[in-house]
Chain A
């Protein structure tokens, strides 16, 4: 890991009359997997959406490879090499799996132009996608949609992968599939920023961790340090964590 790929410096975000982020400082080291933890409403999703330009930061800087991207429009942010999997997965349900993938591959004019070797690699991670390749995505189960959403984000090499709660509502077997897939992604040196409520999942994958509360990052450090310190976990994550532990 050499330096930060992404850094948020004192980011404030307002949504309408609501002041959601109150000066977020966050560093995502290059090549590692950073987990953003925190209770519901802490500002995790808003942080991701602010990075993507889906909400506009009212104050502060969002530095990607050293350049401030806080004022850029969402398509431009994406074209810098940032892939985003939203909490609702953003799967186009009227389109087939193939069409969903073809859209995500900006370099391909049609599905046949998607890099074949990379597609095989993705099918290796998520075999269900091959099986349902020509099916409308709306017919997939929740877990399969999540697989498609992640597959879409990695259909072409990207510098940063931002994923909002990939295990939400998934069956344990599929969560395990996700863990394996993210392990494989980590091997390719992709930088990943993950919002997660499932501490088990987070601990299995995270290199670094940031904990949010009330629109601020209240703790940042290595995952190993947090995983080894029960008192810290109790203080930062409280009862919600105890249930998962």
Chain B
């Protein structure tokens, strides 16, 4: 008989384990699509488009997932802020026609940044009112939250029709951002590169705040155990209002980017994107900003690959992705450890 195995030292140092598996899904999906797409330049075009779309969705979804994580609030009205941002962009860019028509990239970007600043400010302010009037009376009552936030979404959509009209409004790209540049044989639309750069900058900013500032620590802690954050002496309500306003402003920013990505804006834009962002935050793990980042990239890439390979199943592909992810990890890719 063999000697029994020696028990490990009682105070063995636990390994710092970073769960990279979900993150690996993104390159895996891209690589798996390559042979199916066949042509390398086409694959590059689709991949850049997918990443750009994914980053825009992440900007929109990040606030929503934190709002849910902090206060268990499911805000189905989030789409209003997207629509608001997109319509404000039509107004601001329309008013800056000289800047958008200019061939100068700097003038174009200045116009876009102006539109983004206005969209974020207005969406943030409307978000503050939305939280006060619509969300606050129904804390802790999920069914009422779903109904009233959906109601808020419908009212918001109708108000947008009152202000901007019910028809689609074109949102052309500024002159210097139209068209594509060739990278090797692959044509990559200029605006998508801009979207990727802005998306990565926002991602970096969100993660800097969450990991390096006290407010970020409080948000991450509050998502796990809100009661303990209060017992440590912090007013979580204020924090929540701050996150709600920031999330609304980011949705407004995402709306500008989404509108420019589609180059046209309709009042139903919020409802359309709503479905995608809910898929993203469920895939990512409700309350996890990192999870929504990975989820958004997966959704963006898959939508583009599927749209090219099998347009008929493109609409269904993201639902399928959600089902597969939830079969693998029922709590999402990065489940938040709730107490």
A binds B: yes
- Docked Cα-Cα span, A140 to B17, in Å, equals 12
- CB nearest neighbor in B for A173: B10
**B220 touching A74 by the CB < 8 A rule?**
no
The stretch of A60-68, A93-101, A176-184, A196-204 that contacts the partner chain: A93-101
Tell me how far the C-beta of B338 lies from the nearest C-beta in chain A, rounded to whole angstroms. 9
**A94 touching B231 by the CB < 8 A rule?**
no
- CB nearest neighbor in A for B227: A54
Which residues of A come within 8 Å of B, CB atoms? 52, 54, 73-75, 78-79, 84, 86, 88, 90, 92-95, 99, 102-104, 106, 109-110, 128, 131-132, 134-136, 138-140, 152
Whether A103 touches B218, Cβ cut-off 8 Å, given contacts A74-B231, A86-B231, is yes
- Docked Cα-Cα span, A147 to B227, in Å, equals 20
| Cβ contacts under 8 Å, A106 to chain B | 232-234
| Cβ contacts under 8 Å, B230 to chain A | 54, 73-75, 78
B217 in contact (CB, < 8 A): yes
- CB nearest neighbor in A for B234: A75
Of B11, B233, B336, chain A has the most CB atoms within 10 Å of the CB of: B233
Q: Pick from B224, B233, B234: contact of A92, CB below 8 A.
A: B224
- Can you report 23 residue pairs joining A to B where beta carbons are below 8 Å apart? A54-B231, A74-B231, A75-B233, A78-B230, A79-B233, A84-B231, A90-B225, A92-B224, A94-B220, A94-B224, A95-B221, A99-B217, A99-B221, A103-B214, A103-B218, A103-B232, A106-B234, A131-B13, A132-B13, A134-B16, A138-B337, A139-B14, A140-B14
Q: Interface residue count for B (Cβ, 8 Å)?
A: 27
| Cβ contacts under 8 Å, A84 to chain B | 231
Chain B, residues 311-339, CB within 8 Å of chain A (1/0): the string is: 00000000000000000000000001101
- 7 nearest interchain CB pairs? A78-B233, A90-B228, A139-B14, A74-B230, A92-B221, A93-B337, A84-B231
| Cβ contacts under 8 Å, B232 to chain A | 78, 103-104, 106, 152
Tell me how far the C-beta of B215 lies from the nearest C-beta in chain A, rounded to whole angstroms. 10
- Docked Cα-Cα span, A152 to B232, in Å, equals 9
Residues of B220-248 at the interface with A, using a CB-CB cut-off of 8 Å, are: 220-221, 224-225, 227-236
Tell me how far the C-beta of A59 lies from the nearest C-beta in chain B, rounded to whole angstroms. 23
Whether A136 touches B16, Cβ cut-off 8 Å, given contacts A86-B231, A103-B232, A128-B11, is yes
| Cβ contacts under 8 Å, B228 to chain A | 86, 90, 92
Tell me how far the C-beta of B222 lies from the nearest C-beta in chain A, rounded to whole angstroms. 9
Residues of B133-158 at the interface with A, using a CB-CB cut-off of 8 Å, are: none
| Cβ contacts under 8 Å, B218 to chain A | 103
- CB nearest neighbor in A for B224: A92
Tell me how far the C-beta of A12 lies from the nearest C-beta in chain B, rounded to whole angstroms. 22
**B16 touching A135 by the CB < 8 A rule?**
yes
Tell me how far the C-beta of A74 lies from the nearest C-beta in chain B, rounded to whole angstroms. 4
| Cβ contacts under 8 Å, A78 to chain B | 230-233
**B224 touching A93 by the CB < 8 A rule?**
yes
| Cβ contacts under 8 Å, B224 to chain A | 92-95
